[in-house]
């Protein structure tokens, strides 16, 4: 992953960890900004946190306590690949916007938000969310062109 992509992912992750939902919304590509609000961006993450907590028998909403996001991913998935039916999920197709193209997609990024050491001990798990992001180039720079909780 090149440094520009890593910096984008790190900045995005830090905005999420700071719960700066308007800031996260500003990192969305124009087509996602039109569909989403800062409040729906908050819900996108908080619902995943709640699913993780519930799966681990923890009541109430908690937020990731580890101060640094983990950024990874790959370049072998492109926009065409993202639109292919997922055979092991009954042929489900990701709802990738037409604006995400092989030409503008730069990276299939994994953004992992984790527990602090104290949370791992108290809650019994280590990762709050594992968000996958089609990072695209727009007139405004790198942006989130598509995202999902989990790679599929």
pTM of the model: 0.94
pLDDT > 80? residue 7: yes
Residues 55-75 pLDDT 10s: 999 999 999 999 999 999 998
Tell me what the pLDDT averaged over the chain comes to.
96
The range of the structural domain enclosing residue 119 comes to 3-149
Q: Does the structure show a pLDDT above 90 at 151?
A: no
Domains identified in the chain, total number = 1
Residue 46 has pLDDT above 80, yes or no: yes
List, for residues 75-127, the tens digit of each pLDDT value: 889 999 999 999 888 889 999 999 999 999 999 999 999 999 999 999 999 99
CB-neighbour burial class of residue 91 (10 A; exposed 0-12, middle 13-18, buried 19+): exposed
The structure tokens listed for 105 are 């997609």
The tokens of 69 are what? 């996001």
pLDDT of residue 89: 86
């Amino acid at each position: 992953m090149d440094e520009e992509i890593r910096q984008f992912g790190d900045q995005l992750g830090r905005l999420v960890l700071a719960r700066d939902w308007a800031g996260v919304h500003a990192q969305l590509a124009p087509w996602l900004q039109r569909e989403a609000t800062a409040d729906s961006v908050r819900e996108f993450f908080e619902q995943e946190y709640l699913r993780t907590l519930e799966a681990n028998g923890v009541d109430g909403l908690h937020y990731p306590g580890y101060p640094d996001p983990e950024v990874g991913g790959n370049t072998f998935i492109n926009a065409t690949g993202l639109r292919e039916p997922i055979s092991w999920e009954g042929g489900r197709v990701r709802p990738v916007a037409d604006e995400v193209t092989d030409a503008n997609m730069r990276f299939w990024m994994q953004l992992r938000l984790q527990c602090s050491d104290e949370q791992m001990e108290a809650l019994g798990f280590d990762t709050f969310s594992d968000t996958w992001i089609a990072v695209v180039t727009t007139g405004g720079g790198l942006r989130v062109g598509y995202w999902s909780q989990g790679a599929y």
